[in-house]
Amino acid sequence: VTFVHGNGPQVGLLALEDAAYQAQSGMEQSDLNLDVLDAETEGLIGYLIEQELSAKLGQDFAMATVLSQIIVDPEDPAFQNPTKFIGPVYSEDEAEKLGM
């Protein structure tokens, strides 16, 4: 059995945490690029899925979390009109209160 999952909200949260750390520490640029944050959340979510399945199915089942990597064409026209975003979603009122 194979499970696949998305991680947009989780990787967005890590990106916000990283940006806040950069601002507080005075770092100009983080070593944690988006691909690193994505891998971190893939592993985290996979680990949590394994824990839940082990609790339900018992320890007799072998499980593994496999991280994925992809190659994209930076010239792909789809990058001109992104449709899937990362991070939190705010209503118009919330965005105004946050100064966005």
State pLDDT tens for residues 6-52: 888 899 899 889 888 888 998 887 888 889 999 999 999 999 999 99
* pLDDT reported for residue 39: 94
SS (H, E, C) 8-76: HHHHHHHHHHHHHHHHHHCCCCCCCCHHHHHHHHHHHHHHHHHHHHHHHHCCCCCCCCCCCCCCCCCCC
Q: Does residue 73 surpass a pLDDT of 90?
A: yes
Domain borders along the chain are 8-97
> Which residue type does 48 have?
L
20: alpha, beta or left? (left if phi > 0; alpha if psi -120 to 50): alpha
